[in-house]
């Protein structure tokens, strides 16, 4: 490069802040690997004057001194007298954990209302279908008693006298009648107490009653459940289901509507980044920026308050629908005024939500202050920690505050162990930063990272060398100072491209794997052979072998009634209903990656041991399925088509 610059000096042209030098194959390659911005045109190479000056200063092409030293840094240092540092001291690798998510939570199959219809309505438990067929279903429901006429019903009110009914339990051993309590054991004999019995329900009649009460059109579909899993088996009002179906909303096992999204930490933002006006943010209490100046421009940097969150636009659209459902519920069922009156996603700003992590039962109240195009929910590290999360990558759910307050009931929760997980049994209203998980306390709070940090980092020093030098949230809490987090790294957008990872965009596993391989081939620092070996070793081979094992040990299932068999009955029809009995694991499952491994990955694998293992597995599969091998479209056809 030095020689090139020296040679080129006679023809060097400078125009428009660009230095133009004659093209040279070797020099061009060096520029590329040094990551120096340049442009090749015709027989010349153009590079910005600022870069050119740096090259002159560092390489001193016109001095007679030779470029020599133990390594390139010390050589350039000796030559130029300017200290040289490695571009990056250490590298941190990352790999796919799980793809990001932002979507309404649906159970499988999805449920509009916790109302049991057993087998009626088909596999999607559609109450509309059951009603059209005029089905009466016998289902297990809570037994309730009218205080005046002693009628036993599952309804909230007695149909004879219109009075509210009370839930009654009956001891299976001694027949004692008693009121509902969490412990389902009899105080007299210790026997098991049951709160439900079989009732025959006319689905059509019930639906008609609900629609009339709401004066609503019948939804095209209304999805119930097969049976209730709760101890008391109290159903939800069908009316709730009708209104949810109207807005395309589905519920979780506890009767609440959830939106799941991936957590991302955030401490600072600008109004422009979250798509909200300066005026609105001032209203929400963001009056001054990080430098203490009055908030006037959409590009001023603001420090996020610990319970404020920025949600995906998709989540905001979802919350608008939930708010309409809640308003309908208040107006049509409770005879009250609407509460939210939302029209567009802008109306979501300033509203309260409850955020909840799976495996916990304590929700945290948060306030929506803006939107992001990313499929992630941005919140303060303290907020994520309050949900008992370590701040990133996990998936939590949000609910519009009134939804759990109105529609959640612990009476809906499944009686089995773990039934209470992921439900808002408790709600934290104000977070005490001192009470959240310690991990969040280690966040640094300074405005400028001291030079000493970089010096120590360069030497790879242990973190303890810096203890006490970098203040953290823990320091602030210990000293009783207000929670204030410094702003160190400016950025223009919260969601730079890609907004959605290609892992999500690619549909099938085949596409994902081919995409990954293509990428590995392109990136100079990635060894594609290693990538292929890792993929086969950690996922594909165990998948193929596991599915093969499952194929041979599989059970069988009746297509009509779902009865399970360890081996197929000799008649090949179901003993209880006469339906067709079918396999539960199909050869497609075993073979789905075979072609991929065989035709694409095997070529790239260098480890002989691994290649042998793959060949053995493939041979095994061939031997088993060869006899009945049917025409399958090849990988090439699949890719071409």
Nearest to Zn ion of 143, 251 (CB atom): 143
- β-strands 556-558, 362-372 pairing: unpaired
* Residue pair 203/130 in contact by the 8 Å Cβ criterion: yes
Residue of 174, 336, 519, 526 interacting with Zn ion (CB under 5 A): 174
- The region of 17-25, 104-112, 186-194, 355-363 touching Zn ion under the rule CB under 5 A is 186-194
Helices assigned H by DSSP within 538-607: 541-552, 587-591, 594-596
CB atoms within 10 A of CB 60: 17
What is the C-alpha to C-alpha distance for residues 110 and 283, in angstroms, rounded to an integer?
39
Rounded Cα distance between 474 and 440, Å, is: 9
The smaller minimum CB distance to Zn ion, of residues 393 and 579, is found at 579
- Minimum Å gap between C-beta 175 and Zn ion is 7
State the minimum distance, in angstroms, from the CB of residue 172 to Zn ion.
Answer: 8
Which of these ranges, 140-148, 326-334, 373-381, 512-520, lies near Zn ion under the rule CB under 5 A? 140-148
C-beta of 435: minimal distance to Zn ion in Å? 43
Q: How many residues at the interface with Zn ion, by CB under 5 A?
A: 22
* Strand, coil or helix: 558: strand
Are 146 and 153 spatial neighbours (Cβ–Cβ below 8 Å)? yes
Measured CA angle at 252 (ends 250, 255), to 5 deg: 90
From candidates 37, 39, 160, 283, binder to Zn ion by CB under 5 A: 160
As a whole number of angstroms, the distance between CA 253 and CA 110 comes to 10
Instruction: Lay out the site mask for Zn ion across 379-408 (x = CB under 5 A, - = otherwise).
Output: ------------------------------
Closest residue by Cα to residue 98 from 434, 501, 553: 501
Of the pair 147, 285, the CB lying nearest Zn ion is at 147
Which of 14, 523, 561, 639 is in the footprint of Zn ion by CB under 5 A? 561
CB of 153 to Zn ion, least distance (A): 8
Shortest Å distance, C-beta 195 to Zn ion: 14
Closest CB to Zn ion among residues 3, 561? 561
| Residue with smaller CB distance to Zn ion, 188 or 469 | 188
Segment near Zn ion (CB under 5 A); pick from 166-174, 259-267, 300-308, 359-367: 166-174
Tell me the C-alpha distance between 309 and 265, whole Å: 10
b (16+ CB within 10 A) / e for 216-251: bebbeebbbbeebbbbbbbbbbbbbbbbbbbbebbb
Q: Does 138 bind Zn ion (CB under 5 A)?
A: no
Distance of closest approach, residue 277 Cβ to Zn ion, in angstroms? 57
CA 57, chain centre distance (Å)? 50
- Among 146, 203, 374, 445, the residue binding Zn ion under the rule CB under 5 A is 146
Of 191, 298, 338, 486, the residue at the interface with Zn ion (CB under 5 A) is 191
Binds Zn ion by CB under 5 A, chosen from 5, 20, 141, 158: 158
Q: Is cis: bond before 498, omega within 30 of 0?
A: yes
**In contact, 426 and 363? CB cutoff 8 Å:** yes
Kindly state the smallest distance separating residue 205's Cβ from Zn ion, in Å.
Answer: 19
Q: Candidates 58-66, 71-79, 88-96, 180-188: pick the segment binding Zn ion (CB under 5 A).
A: 180-188
d(CA 183, CA 512): 50
Letters for 519-538 (x = contact with Zn ion by CB under 5 A, - = none) are --------------------
Block residue for tokens 């005490």: 432
Give kind and range of the element (H or E) at residue 368: strand 362-372
Q: Are 136 and 121 in contact (CB under 8 A)?
A: no
Contact with Zn ion (CB under 5 A) among 188, 478, 504, 549:
188
Minimal distance, residue 149 CB to Zn ion, in Å: 3
E-state strands within 382-506:
395-400, 426-428
Residue 451: CB partners within 8 Å, gap ≥ 6? none
Contact residue for Zn ion among 3, 107, 138, 161 (CB under 5 A): 161
Q: How far is the CB of 132 from Zn ion (least distance, A)?
A: 24
Q: Which of 189, 426, 463, 523 binds Zn ion (CB under 5 A)?
A: 189
Among 127, 129, 186, 364, binds Zn ion (CB under 5 A): 186
- Both tokens of 66, joined, read 């030779």
Q: How far is the CB of 566 from Zn ion (least distance, A)?
A: 15
In Å, the largest CA–CA distance within the chain is 112
User: Smallest distance, Å, CB 574 to Zn ion?
Assistant: 3
Give the one residue of 75, 176, 477, 520 binding Zn ion; rule: CB under 5 A: 176
Cβ-based nearer residue to Zn ion, 167 or 391: 167
Part of the chain binding Zn ion (CB under 5 A), chosen from 77-85, 142-150, 421-429, 583-591: 142-150
Distance of CA 83 to CAs 57, 73, 326, Å? 12, 8, 65
Quick one: 71 or 160, whose CB is closer to Zn ion?
A: 160
Q: Residues 566-595: x/- map of binding to Zn ion (CB under 5 A)?
A: --------x--x-x----------------
* Contact region with Zn ion (CB under 5 A), list: 66-74, 155-163, 286-294, 384-392: 155-163
Only one of the segments 87-95, 106-114, 337-345, 563-571 lies at the binding site for Zn ion (rule: CB under 5 A); that segment is: 563-571
- Asked whether the CA dihedral 305, 306, 312, 313 is positive or negative, the reply is negative
DSSP bridge partners of 201? 137
Distance, CA of 355 to CA of 267 (rounded, Å): 18
Scanning 43-51, 65-73, 174-182, 523-531 for contacts with Zn ion by CB under 5 A, the matching segment is 174-182
Residue in 301, 333, 563, 617 binding Zn ion, rule: CB under 5 A = 563
| Closest C-alpha among 380, 242, 397, 232 to residue 312 | 397
Residue owning tokens 């200063």:
57
* Alpha helices, H only, 47-192: 49-59, 72-80, 127-132
Candidate segments 122-130, 152-160, 464-472, 476-484, binder of Zn ion by CB under 5 A: 152-160
CB nearer to Zn ion: pick between 145 and 332: 145
Which residues lie across from 198 on neighbouring strands? 140
Kindly tell me which of 226 and 420 has the beta carbon lying closer to Zn ion. Answer: 226
CB-count burial class (<10 Å; 0-12, 13-18, 19+) for 464? exposed
Beta bridge partners of 103: 260
- Name the packing angle between helices 509-522 and 528-535 (round to 10°): 160
Interface contacts to Zn ion, rule CB under 5 A? 146, 148-149, 151, 158, 160-161, 171, 173-174, 176, 186, 188-189, 191, 558, 560-561, 563, 574, 577, 579
């Amino acid at each position: 490069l030095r020689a090139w610059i020296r040679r080129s000096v006679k023809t060097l042209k400078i125009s428009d802040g660009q230095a133009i030098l004659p093209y040279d194959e070797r020099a061009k390659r060096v520029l590329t690997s040094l990551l120096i911005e340049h442009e090749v045109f015709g027989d010349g190479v153009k590079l910005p004057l600022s870069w050119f000056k740096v090259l002159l200063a560092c390489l001193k092409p016109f001095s007679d001194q030779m470029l020599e030293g133990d390594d390139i840094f010390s050589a350039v240092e000796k030559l130029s007298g300017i200290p040289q540092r490695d571009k990056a001291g250490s590298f941190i690798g990352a790999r796919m954990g799980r793809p990001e998510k932002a979507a309404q939570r649906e159970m499988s199959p999805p449920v509009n209302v916790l109302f049991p219809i057993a087998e009626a309505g088909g596999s999607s438990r559609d109450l509309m279908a059951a009603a059209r067929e005029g089905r009466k279903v016998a289902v297990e429901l809570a037994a309730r008693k009218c205080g005046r006429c002693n009628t036993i019903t599952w309804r909230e009110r007695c149909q004879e006298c219109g009075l509210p009914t009370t839930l009654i339990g009956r001891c299976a051993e001694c027949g004692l009648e008693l009121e509902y309590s969490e412990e389902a054991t009899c105080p007299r004999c210790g026997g098991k107490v049951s709160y439900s019995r079989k009732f025959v329900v006319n689905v059509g009649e019930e639906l008609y009653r609900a629609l009339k009460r709401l004066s609503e059109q019948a939804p095209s579909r209304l999805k119930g459940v097969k049976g209730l899993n709760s101890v008391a088996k109290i159903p939800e009002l069908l009316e709730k289901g009708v209104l949810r179906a109207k807005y395309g909303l589905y519920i979780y096992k506890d009767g609440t509507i959830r939106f799941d999204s991936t957590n991302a930490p955030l401490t600072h933002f600008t109004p422009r980044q979250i798509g909200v006006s300066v005026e609105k943010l001032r209203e929400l209490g963001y009056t001054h920026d990080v430098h203490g100046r009055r908030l006037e421009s959409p590009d001023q940097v603001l420090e996020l308050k610990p319970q404020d969150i920025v949600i995906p636009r998709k989540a905001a659209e979802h919350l608008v629908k939930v708010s309409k459902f809640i308003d309908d519920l208040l107006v049509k069922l409770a005879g009250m005024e609407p509460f939210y009156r939302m029209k567009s996603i802008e109306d979501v700003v300033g509203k309260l939500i409850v955020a909840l992590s799976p495996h916990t039962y304590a929700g945290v109240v948060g306030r929506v202050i803006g939107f992001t195009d990313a499929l992630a929910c941005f919140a303060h590290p303290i907020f994520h920690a309050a949900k008992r999360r370590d701040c990133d990558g996990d998936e939590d759910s949000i609910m519009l505050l009134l939804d759990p307050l109105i529609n959640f009931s612990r009476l809906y929760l499944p009686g089995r162990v773990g039934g209470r997980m992921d439900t808002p049994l408790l709600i934290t209203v104000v977070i005490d930063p001192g009470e959240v998980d310690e991990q969040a306390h280690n966040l640094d709070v300074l405005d400028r990272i001291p030079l000493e940090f970089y010096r120590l980092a360069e030497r790879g020093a242990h973190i303890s060398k810096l203890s006490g030098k970098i203040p953290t949230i823990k320091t602030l809490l210990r000293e009783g100072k207000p929670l204030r987090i410094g702003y160190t790294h400016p950025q223009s957008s919260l969601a730079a491209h890609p907004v959605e990872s290609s892992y999500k965009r690619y549909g099938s596993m085949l596409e994902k794997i081919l995409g990954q391989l293509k990428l590995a081939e392109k990136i100079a620092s990635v060894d594609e052979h290693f990538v292929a070996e890792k993929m086969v070793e950690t996922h594909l081979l165990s998948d193929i072998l596991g599915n093969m094992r499952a194929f041979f040990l599989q059970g069988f299932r009746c297509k009509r009634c779902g009865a399970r068999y360890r081996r197929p009955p000799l008649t090949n029809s179901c003993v209880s209903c006469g339906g067709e009995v079918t396999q539960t694991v199909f050869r497609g499952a075993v073979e789905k990656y075979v072609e991929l491994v065989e035709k694409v990955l095997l070529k790239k694998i260098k480890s002989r041991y691994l290649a042998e293992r793959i060949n053995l597995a493939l041979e095994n599969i061939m031997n088993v399925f060869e006899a009945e091998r049917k025409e399958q479209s090849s990988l090439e056809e699949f890719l071409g088509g």
